[in-house]
Chains A and B, each alone.
Chain A
Amino acid sequence: MRKFSMFNTEIYSLNLSLRLLTVLLVFIIFPAQADNESKPSARSLIRNMSMAVRQLNYEGVFIHQRGGQMNTLRLIHKFDEKGGIERLVSLTGAAREVIRDAESVRCYFPDDQAVVVEKSRPRELLSSQLPRSLEKLEANYQFSIVAEDRVAGRKAWVVNIRPNDAYRYGYQFWIDQIDHLLLKSELRNRTGLLLEQIMFTQLDILDTVSAEMLKPSISGAGYTWHNNSKDKKTDKNFASKWQVSWMPSGFSKDNEEMYPATENKTPVNHIVYSDGLAMVSVFIEKLDSDTEMTTGLSRLGGVNAYARITKGYQVTAVGEVPQATVQRMANSVSTEP
């Protein structure tokens, strides 16, 4: 990470002088707009970004890269009072789609001839949640605006979020200077290694989003439908006997819920921990005698998972955090008070 930051510092100083010049010029030419050109705080940018991605209507194409894989996807987002409707379509490989609204998440898989319907989580009130979590974040991450850049033809601030310890990853966000949408995002480990990234190549803000744009291109007729949205009971106030005794500093329990597993109806206990940016889910499931046991580490892009068996239960920690974090958290799970 050090090399990475030094590099950014150089860009930063270069950009600083350029920006000073720009500000000066703008001030001379358009004195009234000079304020808009001054550098905002990283925190306010992040706050604006998380509002913008939900509250604007937009349509864009982005590249998603993890490991050696690269894919292109189209994203359409419509704002409404109930929390918005989103449609994500893969433009490479199988033409998969995910459509999400206030009620459900529908995933269309033409390659499997299947549609999976999951219940969507109720939207939280962002305005009440974010400022608090951002303050909490500053104990464990360093925020800085490291550069200005251009992505998808739009001017962007580059916000670097660097973790203070090895138990979480670092992020770099390219945030639109005018509309505050997220244009590019990188997930890096502490040594600066890029784990996963997305980058918009085209992004348009729309006045309205037609119903047509949010309709799946796949009818789903003849597909196998798996509707898991009905039997999922979530109880916000649920608290089980399970305890996670170790977690990185700044992490706290966000939520705990119970829901039945998909086929065998074994209930799964899902506890979510977060430091305000990184999230770790801990899943606890009772094993039947014939259940296949899984232990060890798994990975998907920047997401790591670690599973272990304890007292006839499988405990799995999943999160966009380093292996050591999911592993230590899973190992610390017990029924002790």
Chain B
Amino acid sequence: MAGFLQQVVQGLGAGAIYASLALALVLIYQFTGIVNFAQGELAMFSTYVAWQCMAAGLPFWVALPLTLVVSFAGGMLIERVIIRPVEGAPELTIVIVTVGLFIFVNAAAGWIWTFLIKDFPNPFPGGALELGGVSLSFSTLGVLGVVALVMGLLYLLFQHTKIGLGMRAVAANPASARLVGIRVGWTLALGWGLAATVGAVSGVLVAPLLFLEPNMMAGVLIYAFAAATLGGFDSPLGAVVGGLVVGVAETLAGAYVGFIGSDLKVGVPLVIILGVLLLRPQGLFGRAAVERA
């Protein structure tokens, strides 16, 4: 039993990371209907910014806020400069643009920082909390705590501020949002900025567990897609729940299903994506596209 719980805890830790990147994906999808394939690469780039700050001698807790600000501004800039011109273009066009952004950001990171792996410090202390035979590492607890915090802050922003109300209005009905005086263009840019910031958090959480290198988010992105699909692409809560479920499912499948093991683990998110699309395309928390006229 303790062994099983240990696997679940480990899965939750991994799942929280998928959840954070899924959250970033969902933020952009909600506002613009765009699936941003470059989300993971933007997170990776942000992580390099944090690394660069620390390489310049700044302590982690100074480098982090600085990185978040840079990421926010970068996200807004990308929306204004790269996404804006293709706004309203067919979906395929936008998908290609975000795939192009993926390749560009990946190559830029390699060009600036090389493809050699770098160590990234773990902001959380080592060691673990023993609880009934299950060991909860501070690192896992920290990741779960940070994702809960991000989720809580986003909830406050969306449900209890005027900016959040405006953002929900734009997501629900952009034309009508314009008619009540909301600056829709800036709101979309704000959405991209927020997503980039959440993604930066995700990258900084991933980097200490893997190593920092330009391709580090590629795998995480697949899991994040599975999480967002499972939770529902238009539901931030769904993204988090989906992330945790995917993390646990993947860990348990790897540990207990003989033929999967650690080699086939990566197939789990793909099976989840396929299953959800077949059985419940809107995801667990997503809204199906039916409404009273």
A and B interact physically: no
